Amino acid sequence: MDAPRRPHSDNPLLSAWTGPYGLPPFDAVKPAHFRPAFDVALAAHRAEIEAIAADPAPPSFDNTIAALERSGRDLRRLENLFFVLAGAHTDDAIEAVEREVAPLLARHNDAVYLNRPLYARVAELYRRRESLGLDAEQARVLERYHSRFVRAGAGLDEAKTRRLAAINERLASLATRFGQNVLADERAFALILEEDDLDGLPDFVRTAARAAAEARGHAGKYAITLARSAVESFLQFSSRRDLREKVFQAWIRRGESGGATDNRALIAEMVALRAERASLLGYASFADYCLADRMAKTPEAARRLLEEVWTRARAKALAERDALQALVAEEGGNFALAPHDWRYYAEKRRRAAFDLDEAAVKPYFQLDRMIAAAFETARRLFGLTFTPVAVPLYHPDARAWEVKEAGGAAVGLFIGDYFARPSKHSGAWMAALRNQERLAGDVRPIILNICNFSRPAEGEPALLSFEDARTLFHEFGHALHGLLSNVTYPLLAGTAVASDFVELPSQLYERWLEAPEILRAYARHYRTGEPMPQTLIDRLLAARTEGQGFATVEYTACALLDLELHGPRAERALDVDAFEREGLARIGMLPEIVMRHRLPHFQHLFAGEGYAAGYYSYLWAEVLDADAFAAFEETGDLFNQALAERLRRFIYGAGNLRDPEEAYRAFRGRLPSPEALLIRRGLADVVA
């Protein structure tokens, strides 16, 4: 990206980034550098915006739309870097800066999109769009800018725009606090265990727990933290019901401690502010506002899919519950199955039904081999190569690969950061330090995958569960969406698509983890190097639909409550506990299952807005990905080159060049039905 216009030798963020591949000078950057750098970058972008808005020349695509795309480069690179660190390697100083700059950035965004003279220029161009002689990409950029201005409220009167700006600034502050509160609760908990507390835990769980304890100053002991991979493994294997309950309660009660990190009041305020903003913009609800610009178009369309899946999933989960309760009774347990028991007895049932022991499977899913498997899949589909490179990064855990086309042309830089640590927010996600574009020359992307797998003991390899390996492939699918981007204008690059379409590349990529060629080559025992026996592979794949009632219910309940929370009945004085309790009762939630993300720690909804009123997106995209993978299966070749070329051209490389429906039709020739999804989840034959 362009260097700032004037030197600031005392602040490395305000000088040209001359590191390898254009990386920032991580070793020189301190938290104290960020606020001054933001002040300079924001002022520079304000000046650029005012110059565009005040241009005496009649509006043209170049002096308005392209000028907007050329503006703010220093601010974009600074934001990208800061929010990578705020998510993946934060501390008290970074969090303090985050609390300061979040409302500043919201205010600045409003200063752009509520700028009346600027909107007048964009609106004039949009009115004359058919006569401007634009190519397809330019027309798309113009349409997306016009939509952004309208949806921001640029056409409203001054009183309403002032109120919108105040709402946006407040929401930005609340979202930052929400995410920081969840991280604080996660940092605060670690269940320290002695050797006698480890009944039922396989070696790989014990090893990870010992490493976690040592990292927290408890050498010789064991610790279960609130990293999802640690929690789920403990719940799956520990025969200590009392300890399972302690871990589970800590996990599900993040964000509702009753103290300084309690998020419930923040949620109530955010829901009310979102509803008010939607009303100011002329929508019946925040969900209506959000979905108008997504593939689903309406909350009703999203709800129809969720409800169709919910009724089948609930029926299957009821049968699963009864089977687990019977297993409890067979073992002489005189108690009703509780949420902290489900995974433990489900693992026992899976072992009995499929002769499948997670402890026997996990040694075949070594982290480095799964990374190599993801790379090999990208080579076979898209001709990409990944070469390790030694470059300065923000944490010793992070590592980098240079990505090239088969012929040697540069694609970009990929950074993987895989282990949980106290400085990292929970979850798994893709981020970008730089997005692809051609407006400022041939700008190559720098894309990151950030995960939270359990760290192994010193000198031991990291072993993944099959679900962890699926997560790795999922996030790498997002990474490819960023790396393969092939657009001119930054606004359209990479993953800048509707949230119910953005999960298609990631969820589709998961499917190649199960490709026989990939499993045979990369699922190898970490000690012997022997490939996973075919009989074990067969049992593993046969068990894919085992437990899908539970998995679908815990997810779909979240998505249904999300739509209701942001619907027309959104309450002005929301009682979060009562809403969650009553909402789950209305849909018939099983008391033995807890939502995958309870509201007080539901970061998809409240640590930002990307998935607010949009958590349904994963299921919506699953309809697409099940159908898209079926296209490969129909050819008899999971790496069919003609189909892979279309997949790259219209999905992975296309950014937001097209409306999502148009993009999918271009790849597949038609839109999908939910049938492939129901088959995949083992729900097609379930009678509700």
pLDDT tens per residue across span 453-464:
999 988 899 999
pLDDT(4) > 80: no
Q: Is 475 a catalytic residue?
A: yes
Work out the burial of residue 57: count CB atoms within 10 Å of its CB; fewer than 13 is exposed, 13-18 middle, 19 or more buried.
Answer: exposed
Work out the burial of residue 293: count CB atoms within 10 Å of its CB; fewer than 13 is exposed, 13-18 middle, 19 or more buried.
Answer: middle
Q: Are residues 521 and 651 in the same domain?
A: no
pLDDT(603) > 60: yes
Q: Which CATH number belongs to the domain containing residue 305 in this structure? A: 1.10.1370.10
With bands split at pLDDT 50, 70 and 90, how would you rate the model's confidence at 3? very low
Work out the burial of residue 679: count CB atoms within 10 Å of its CB; fewer than 13 is exposed, 13-18 middle, 19 or more buried.
Answer: middle
Q: Are residues 493 and 516 in the same domain?
A: yes
End of a domain among 544, 570, 588?
A: 544
pLDDT(6) > 60: no
Q: Are residues 539 and 616 in the same domain?
A: no
Work out the burial of residue 30: count CB atoms within 10 Å of its CB; fewer than 13 is exposed, 13-18 middle, 19 or more buried.
Answer: exposed
Q: Which domain range does residue 29 map to?
A: 12-113+115-152
pLDDT(574) > 80: yes
| Mean residue pLDDT across the chain | 95
Count up the domains in the chain and report the number.
4
End of a domain among 231, 252, 273?
A: 252
Task: Give the pLDDT confidence score for residue 635 in this predicted structure.
Answer: 97
With bands split at pLDDT 50, 70 and 90, how would you rate the model's confidence at 570? low
Q: Are residues 523 and 381 in the same domain?
A: yes
d(CA 205, CA 230) in angstroms, rounded, equals 8
User: 577: how many CB neighbours lie within 10 A of its CB?
Assistant: 13
Q: How many residues does the chain have?
A: 688
Instruction: Render the burial of 401-422: b for 16+ CB within 10 Å, e for the rest.
Output: bbbbeeeeeebbbbbbbbbbbe
- Any domain includes 264: no
Give residue-wise pLDDT tens across range 317-357.
999 999 999 999 999 999 999 999 999 999 999 999 998 88
Q: Are residues 367 and 335 in the same domain?
A: no
Q: Are residues 320 and 391 in the same domain?
A: no
- Any domain includes 444: yes
Q: Are residues 643 and 671 in the same domain?
A: yes
Q: Are residues 496 and 375 in the same domain?
A: yes
Instruction: Render the burial of 526-564: b for 16+ CB within 10 Å, e for the rest.
Output: beeeebbeeebbebbeebebbbbbbbbbbbbbbbbbbbb
Among residues 95, 169, 186, 475, the one annotated as catalytic is 475
Q: Which CATH number belongs to the domain containing residue 422 in this structure? A: 1.10.1370.40
- Any domain includes 275: no
Give residue-wise pLDDT tens across range 502-533.
999 999 999 999 999 999 999 999 999 999 99
This prediction has a pTM of: 0.94
Check residue 375 and give left, alpha or beta (phi > 0: left; psi -120 to 50: alpha): alpha
Q: Are residues 142 and 236 in the same domain?
A: no
Task: Give the pLDDT confidence score for residue 5 in this predicted structure.
Answer: 41
Q: Which CATH number belongs to the domain containing residue 132 in this structure? A: 1.20.1050.40
In 421-501, the DSSP E strands lie at: 429-434, 446-453
d(CA 448, CA 180) in angstroms, rounded, equals 21
- Any domain includes 7: no
Q: Are residues 492 and 387 in the same domain?
A: yes
Residues facing residue 412 across a β-bridge: 403
d(CA 411, CA 483) in angstroms, rounded, equals 7
- Any domain includes 271: no
- Any domain includes 667: yes
Average pLDDT (545-559) is 96
Q: Are residues 298 and 206 in the same domain?
A: no
Tokens of 520: 């045979």
Least Cα distance to 441 among 470, 410, 420, 417 occurs for: 410
pLDDT(75) > 90: yes
Average pLDDT (390-416) is 97
Task: Give the pLDDT confidence score for residue 9 in this predicted structure.
Answer: 62
- Any domain includes 148: yes
Tokens 């330090």 belong to 433
Q: Are residues 212 and 339 in the same domain?
A: no
End of a domain among 491, 526, 544?
A: 544
CB 522 within 8 A of CB 376: yes
Average pLDDT (163-169) is 97
- Any domain includes 165: no
